[in-house]
Protein backbone atom coordinates (compact mmCIF):
# COMPACT_ATOMS: atom_id res chain seq x y z
CA UNK A 1 0.00 0.00 0.00
CA UNK A 2 1.16 3.56 -0.66
CA UNK A 3 -0.14 7.02 0.21
CA UNK A 4 -0.93 9.31 -2.74
CA UNK A 5 -0.31 13.08 -2.88
CA UNK A 6 -3.71 13.75 -1.24
CA UNK A 7 -2.84 11.55 1.73
CA UNK A 8 -5.19 8.78 0.58
CA UNK A 9 -4.00 5.20 1.01
CA UNK A 10 -4.09 3.38 -2.32
CA UNK A 11 -3.52 -0.30 -2.99
CA UNK A 12 -0.93 -1.21 -5.59
CA UNK A 13 -1.84 -4.01 -7.94
CA UNK A 14 0.62 -6.84 -7.37
CA UNK A 15 -1.43 -9.60 -8.98
CA UNK A 16 -4.58 -9.71 -11.07
CA UNK A 17 -6.07 -10.28 -14.48
CA UNK A 18 -4.14 -8.97 -17.44
CA UNK A 19 -5.63 -5.91 -19.16
CA UNK A 20 -5.07 -7.82 -22.40
CA UNK A 21 -7.42 -10.66 -21.47
CA UNK A 22 -11.16 -10.60 -22.15
CA UNK A 23 -13.37 -12.25 -19.60
CA UNK A 24 -15.09 -15.10 -21.37
CA UNK A 25 -14.65 -18.85 -21.04
CA UNK A 26 -12.25 -20.77 -23.25
CA UNK A 27 -13.40 -23.75 -25.31
CA UNK A 28 -10.67 -25.92 -23.71
CA UNK A 29 -11.47 -28.97 -21.57
CA UNK A 30 -10.88 -28.80 -17.80
CA UNK A 31 -7.24 -29.43 -16.97
CA UNK A 32 -6.01 -28.82 -20.51
CA UNK A 33 -2.39 -27.65 -20.46
CA UNK A 34 -2.57 -25.52 -23.60
CA UNK A 35 -4.09 -22.39 -21.98
CA UNK A 36 -1.31 -22.55 -19.35
CA UNK A 37 1.30 -22.34 -22.09
CA UNK A 38 -0.64 -19.46 -23.68
CA UNK A 39 -0.69 -17.69 -20.30
CA UNK A 40 3.10 -18.01 -20.05
CA UNK A 41 3.51 -16.48 -23.51
CA UNK A 42 1.09 -13.61 -22.71
CA UNK A 43 2.83 -12.87 -19.39
CA UNK A 44 6.22 -12.71 -21.11
CA UNK A 45 4.90 -10.44 -23.87
CA UNK A 46 3.59 -8.10 -21.18
CA UNK A 47 6.87 -8.25 -19.27
CA UNK A 48 8.80 -7.38 -22.45
CA UNK A 49 6.33 -4.55 -23.15
CA UNK A 50 5.57 -5.77 -26.68
CA UNK A 51 1.94 -6.99 -26.50
CA UNK A 52 0.71 -4.11 -28.61
CA UNK A 53 3.03 -4.92 -31.48
CA UNK A 54 2.67 -8.70 -31.15
CA UNK A 55 0.74 -10.75 -33.71
CA UNK A 56 -0.07 -14.40 -33.08
CA UNK A 57 -0.64 -16.96 -35.81
CA UNK A 58 -2.47 -19.96 -34.39
CA UNK A 59 -2.49 -23.32 -36.10
CA UNK A 60 -5.51 -25.58 -36.39
CA UNK A 61 -6.23 -27.36 -33.10
CA UNK A 62 -6.67 -26.83 -29.38
CA UNK A 63 -3.18 -25.39 -28.89
CA UNK A 64 -4.13 -21.80 -29.72
CA UNK A 65 -7.44 -21.68 -27.83
CA UNK A 66 -5.83 -19.60 -25.05
CA UNK A 67 -5.39 -16.72 -27.49
CA UNK A 68 -9.07 -16.55 -28.42
CA UNK A 69 -9.67 -14.20 -25.51
CA UNK A 70 -6.60 -11.98 -25.80
CA UNK A 71 -6.84 -8.41 -27.00
CA UNK A 72 -4.10 -8.75 -29.58
CA UNK A 73 -3.91 -9.23 -33.31
CA UNK A 74 -4.41 -12.85 -34.26
CA UNK A 75 -4.97 -14.97 -37.32
CA UNK A 76 -5.61 -18.66 -37.81
CA UNK A 77 -4.29 -20.38 -40.89
CA UNK A 78 -4.31 -23.62 -42.83
CA UNK A 79 -3.10 -26.66 -40.87
CA UNK A 80 0.71 -26.58 -40.58
CA UNK A 81 1.29 -23.37 -42.53
CA UNK A 82 1.71 -21.03 -39.54
CA UNK A 83 5.47 -20.33 -39.93
CA UNK A 84 4.96 -19.22 -43.55
CA UNK A 85 1.98 -17.03 -42.65
CA UNK A 86 4.01 -15.56 -39.77
CA UNK A 87 6.87 -14.76 -42.13
CA UNK A 88 4.47 -12.96 -44.52
CA UNK A 89 3.11 -10.88 -41.65
CA UNK A 90 6.59 -10.12 -40.39
CA UNK A 91 7.75 -8.94 -43.81
CA UNK A 92 4.61 -6.86 -44.37
CA UNK A 93 5.24 -5.13 -41.06
CA UNK A 94 8.88 -4.37 -41.89
CA UNK A 95 10.21 -6.23 -38.86
CA UNK A 96 8.39 -3.95 -36.44
CA UNK A 97 5.87 -6.57 -35.35
CA UNK A 98 6.69 -9.39 -32.96
CA UNK A 99 5.22 -12.37 -34.80
CA UNK A 100 4.91 -15.81 -33.32
CA UNK A 101 3.00 -19.02 -33.95
CA UNK A 102 1.24 -21.29 -31.49
CA UNK A 103 0.84 -24.78 -32.92
CA UNK A 104 0.04 -28.26 -31.69
CA UNK A 105 2.54 -31.07 -32.17
CA UNK A 106 0.42 -32.55 -34.98
CA UNK A 107 0.14 -29.18 -36.71
CA UNK A 108 3.84 -28.36 -36.31
CA UNK A 109 5.62 -31.74 -36.47
CA UNK A 110 3.43 -33.69 -38.93
CA UNK A 111 1.51 -31.76 -41.59
CA UNK A 112 3.56 -28.62 -40.87
CA UNK A 113 7.02 -30.21 -40.67
CA UNK A 114 8.08 -28.90 -44.08
CA UNK A 115 7.02 -25.35 -43.21
CA UNK A 116 8.83 -25.55 -39.86
CA UNK A 117 12.11 -26.91 -41.19
CA UNK A 118 12.34 -24.45 -44.08
CA UNK A 119 11.40 -21.48 -41.91
CA UNK A 120 14.17 -22.51 -39.50
CA UNK A 121 16.63 -22.99 -42.38
CA UNK A 122 15.84 -19.53 -43.78
CA UNK A 123 16.45 -18.05 -40.35
CA UNK A 124 13.03 -16.36 -40.44
CA UNK A 125 12.91 -13.81 -37.62
CA UNK A 126 9.79 -15.30 -36.09
CA UNK A 127 9.15 -17.47 -33.02
CA UNK A 128 7.40 -20.83 -33.10
CA UNK A 129 5.79 -22.25 -29.96
CA UNK A 130 4.89 -25.92 -30.36
CA UNK A 131 2.57 -27.26 -27.66
CA UNK A 132 3.30 -30.98 -27.41
CA UNK A 133 0.52 -33.06 -25.83
CA UNK A 134 1.68 -36.27 -27.59
CA UNK A 135 -1.47 -36.62 -29.72
CA UNK A 136 -3.91 -34.88 -32.07
CA UNK A 137 -6.11 -33.39 -29.38
CA UNK A 138 -8.88 -31.64 -31.31
CA UNK A 139 -9.81 -34.53 -33.54
CA UNK A 140 -10.14 -37.10 -30.77
CA UNK A 141 -6.67 -38.29 -29.86
CA UNK A 142 -4.99 -39.88 -32.89
CA UNK A 143 -1.27 -40.75 -32.90
CA UNK A 144 1.07 -37.83 -33.63
CA UNK A 145 4.80 -38.00 -34.49
CA UNK A 146 5.42 -37.20 -30.80
CA UNK A 147 3.28 -40.02 -29.35
CA UNK A 148 5.28 -42.11 -26.84
CA UNK A 149 6.14 -45.75 -27.46
CA UNK A 150 3.38 -47.81 -25.84
CA UNK A 151 0.92 -44.90 -25.74
CA UNK A 152 -2.64 -45.89 -26.56
CA UNK A 153 -4.35 -43.53 -29.02
CA UNK A 154 -7.41 -43.97 -31.22
CA UNK A 155 -5.14 -44.97 -34.13
CA UNK A 156 -2.79 -47.10 -31.98
CA UNK A 157 -5.30 -49.02 -29.81
CA UNK A 158 -2.59 -51.55 -28.89
CA UNK A 159 -0.09 -48.81 -28.03
CA UNK A 160 2.47 -47.16 -30.32
CA UNK A 161 4.93 -49.74 -31.57
CA UNK A 162 8.24 -48.50 -33.02
CA UNK A 163 8.40 -51.19 -35.70
CA UNK A 164 4.90 -50.52 -37.01
CA UNK A 165 4.54 -46.80 -36.26
CA UNK A 166 8.05 -45.37 -36.03
CA UNK A 167 9.81 -43.55 -33.19
CA UNK A 168 8.84 -40.36 -31.34
CA UNK A 169 10.20 -37.25 -33.01
CA UNK A 170 12.33 -34.87 -30.88
CA UNK A 171 11.53 -31.57 -32.50
CA UNK A 172 13.40 -29.15 -30.20
CA UNK A 173 16.66 -31.10 -30.66
CA UNK A 174 16.06 -31.43 -34.42
CA UNK A 175 15.39 -27.70 -34.87
CA UNK A 176 18.56 -26.96 -32.87
CA UNK A 177 20.69 -28.56 -35.61
CA UNK A 178 19.43 -26.14 -38.30
CA UNK A 179 21.79 -23.27 -39.12
CA UNK A 180 19.20 -20.47 -39.29
CA UNK A 181 18.14 -21.13 -35.71
CA UNK A 182 19.07 -18.69 -32.95
CA UNK A 183 17.32 -20.48 -30.11
CA UNK A 184 15.66 -23.82 -29.39
CA UNK A 185 14.42 -25.13 -26.04
CA UNK A 186 11.89 -27.45 -24.44
CA UNK A 187 9.86 -26.65 -21.31
CA UNK A 188 6.91 -28.16 -19.46
CA UNK A 189 3.93 -27.07 -17.39
CA UNK A 190 3.71 -29.90 -14.84
CA UNK A 191 4.90 -28.00 -11.76
CA UNK A 192 5.80 -24.49 -10.64
CA UNK A 193 9.56 -24.93 -11.16
CA UNK A 194 9.09 -26.09 -14.75
CA UNK A 195 6.46 -23.41 -15.36
CA UNK A 196 9.00 -20.74 -14.34
CA UNK A 197 11.74 -22.39 -16.37
CA UNK A 198 9.48 -22.43 -19.42
CA UNK A 199 8.75 -18.76 -18.88
CA UNK A 200 12.49 -18.10 -19.07
CA UNK A 201 12.75 -20.06 -22.33
CA UNK A 202 9.79 -18.21 -23.84
CA UNK A 203 11.40 -14.90 -22.89
CA UNK A 204 14.76 -15.89 -24.41
CA UNK A 205 13.06 -16.99 -27.64
CA UNK A 206 11.09 -13.76 -28.01
CA UNK A 207 14.18 -11.72 -27.15
CA UNK A 208 16.06 -13.39 -30.04
CA UNK A 209 13.32 -12.17 -32.37
CA UNK A 210 13.36 -8.66 -30.86
CA UNK A 211 17.16 -8.59 -31.33
CA UNK A 212 16.74 -9.81 -34.93
CA UNK A 213 19.09 -12.78 -34.48
CA UNK A 214 17.19 -15.54 -36.28
CA UNK A 215 14.50 -18.19 -35.96
CA UNK A 216 13.52 -19.12 -32.40
CA UNK A 217 11.58 -22.11 -31.13
CA UNK A 218 10.17 -23.42 -27.85
CA UNK A 219 8.44 -26.77 -27.45
CA UNK A 220 6.16 -26.83 -24.39
CA UNK A 221 4.95 -30.15 -22.96
CA UNK A 222 1.29 -29.86 -21.97
CA UNK A 223 -1.37 -32.23 -20.65
CA UNK A 224 -4.41 -33.44 -22.62
CA UNK A 225 -6.48 -35.13 -19.88
CA UNK A 226 -9.42 -35.94 -22.14
CA UNK A 227 -7.53 -37.91 -24.77
CA UNK A 228 -5.17 -39.41 -22.20
CA UNK A 229 -8.29 -40.63 -20.35
CA UNK A 230 -6.95 -39.25 -17.09
CA UNK A 231 -8.28 -36.83 -14.49
CA UNK A 232 -6.47 -33.46 -14.66
CA UNK A 233 -4.19 -34.11 -11.64
CA UNK A 234 -3.19 -37.54 -12.97
CA UNK A 235 -2.58 -36.03 -16.39
CA UNK A 236 -0.19 -33.50 -14.82
CA UNK A 237 1.58 -36.41 -13.15
CA UNK A 238 1.82 -38.27 -16.47
CA UNK A 239 3.81 -35.35 -17.88
CA UNK A 240 6.76 -36.80 -15.92
CA UNK A 241 6.69 -39.80 -18.29
CA UNK A 242 6.58 -37.43 -21.23
CA UNK A 243 9.58 -35.52 -19.82
CA UNK A 244 11.48 -38.82 -19.52
CA UNK A 245 11.20 -39.15 -23.32
CA UNK A 246 11.58 -35.43 -24.04
CA UNK A 247 14.18 -33.88 -21.72
CA UNK A 248 13.79 -30.22 -20.80
CA UNK A 249 16.45 -27.65 -21.54
CA UNK A 250 18.00 -25.28 -24.04
CA UNK A 251 19.47 -26.96 -27.12
CA UNK A 252 20.71 -23.90 -29.01
CA UNK A 253 21.28 -20.33 -27.89
CA UNK A 254 23.29 -18.08 -30.21
CA UNK A 255 24.10 -14.36 -29.99
CA UNK A 256 24.49 -14.30 -33.78
CA UNK A 257 24.10 -16.85 -36.56
CA UNK A 258 27.35 -18.38 -37.88
C1 LIG B 1 -5.49 -30.06 -44.02
C2 LIG B 1 -6.22 -30.52 -42.79
N3 LIG B 1 -6.11 -31.81 -42.42
C4 LIG B 1 -6.73 -32.25 -41.30
C5 LIG B 1 -7.46 -31.39 -40.54
C6 LIG B 1 -8.17 -31.91 -39.31
N7 LIG B 1 -7.54 -31.50 -38.07
C8 LIG B 1 -7.99 -30.44 -37.38
S9 LIG B 1 -7.20 -30.23 -35.92
C10 LIG B 1 -6.25 -31.60 -36.21
C11 LIG B 1 -5.27 -32.11 -35.21
C12 LIG B 1 -4.63 -31.09 -34.37
O13 LIG B 1 -3.71 -31.71 -33.50
P14 LIG B 1 -2.50 -30.94 -32.92
O15 LIG B 1 -1.86 -30.14 -33.97
O16 LIG B 1 -1.61 -31.93 -32.22
O17 LIG B 1 -3.13 -29.91 -31.92
P18 LIG B 1 -3.95 -30.11 -30.55
O19 LIG B 1 -5.38 -30.11 -30.96
O20 LIG B 1 -3.51 -31.39 -29.92
O21 LIG B 1 -3.57 -28.92 -29.76
C22 LIG B 1 -6.54 -32.19 -37.45
C23 LIG B 1 -5.89 -33.39 -37.98
C24 LIG B 1 -7.55 -30.04 -40.95
N25 LIG B 1 -8.21 -29.14 -40.23
N26 LIG B 1 -6.90 -29.63 -42.07
S1 LIG C 1 -8.91 -32.33 -26.31
FE2 LIG C 1 -7.00 -32.23 -25.12
S3 LIG C 1 -5.80 -30.55 -26.05
FE4 LIG C 1 -7.96 -30.33 -26.71
S5 LIG C 1 -8.88 -28.91 -25.23
FE6 LIG C 1 -9.30 -31.00 -24.53
S7 LIG C 1 -7.63 -31.48 -23.08
FE8 LIG C 1 -6.99 -29.70 -24.33
Best residue for ligand 1 mutational test, from 63, 108, 109, 136 (most atoms within 8 Å of Cβ):
136
Q: How long, in residues, is the chain?
A: 258
Can you give the pLDDT at residue 25?
84
* CA dihedral (69, 75, 79, 85) positive or negative: negative
Residue of minimum CA distance from atom 6 in ligand 2: 29
Can you give the pLDDT at residue 13?
60
Distance 234 CA to ligand 2 centre (A): 15
CATH number assigned to the domain with residue range 29-253, chosen from the 4 options 3.90.1150.10, 3.30.1650.10, 3.30.465.10, 3.40.50.970:
3.40.50.970
Supply the pTM of this predicted model: 0.94
- Residue ranges covered by each domain of the chain: 29-253
Instruction: Give the closest ligand to the alpha carbon of residue 105.
Output: 1
Can you give the pLDDT at residue 86?
98
Can you give the pLDDT at residue 19?
86
Residue of minimum CA distance from atom 6 in ligand 1: 139
Contacts (Cβ under 8 Å, ≥6 apart) of 214: 123, 124, 125, 180, 181, 182, 183, 208, 254, 257
**Which DSSP helix (H) or strand (E) runs through 215?**
strand 215-221
* pLDDT, tens only, 52-73: 999 999 999 999 999 998 999 9
Best residue for ligand 1 mutational test, from 27, 36, 61 (most atoms within 8 Å of Cβ):
61
Can you give the pLDDT at residue 96?
86
Instruction: Give the CA-trace dihedral at 10, 12, 16, 21, to 10 degrees.
Output: 90
Can you give the pLDDT at residue 21?
86
The answer to whether 197 touches 163, Cβ cutoff 8 Å, is no
Question: Residues lining ligand 2, judged by CB closer than 6 Å?
Answer: 28-29, 32, 34, 62, 133, 137-138, 224-227
Question: Residues lining ligand 1, judged by CB closer than 6 Å?
Answer: 34, 60-63, 79, 104-107, 131, 133, 136-139, 144
* Low-confidence spans in the chain with pLDDT less than 50: none
Ligand 1 atom with least separation from CA of 133:
20
Amino acid sequence: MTVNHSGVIVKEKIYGPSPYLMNFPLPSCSGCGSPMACKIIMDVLEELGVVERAIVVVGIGCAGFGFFRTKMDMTMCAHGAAPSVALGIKQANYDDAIVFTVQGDGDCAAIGAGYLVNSAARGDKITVFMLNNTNYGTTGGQMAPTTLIGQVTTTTPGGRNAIAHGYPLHIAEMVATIKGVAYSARGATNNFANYQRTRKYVKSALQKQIDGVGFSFVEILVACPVNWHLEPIKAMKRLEEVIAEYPLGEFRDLEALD
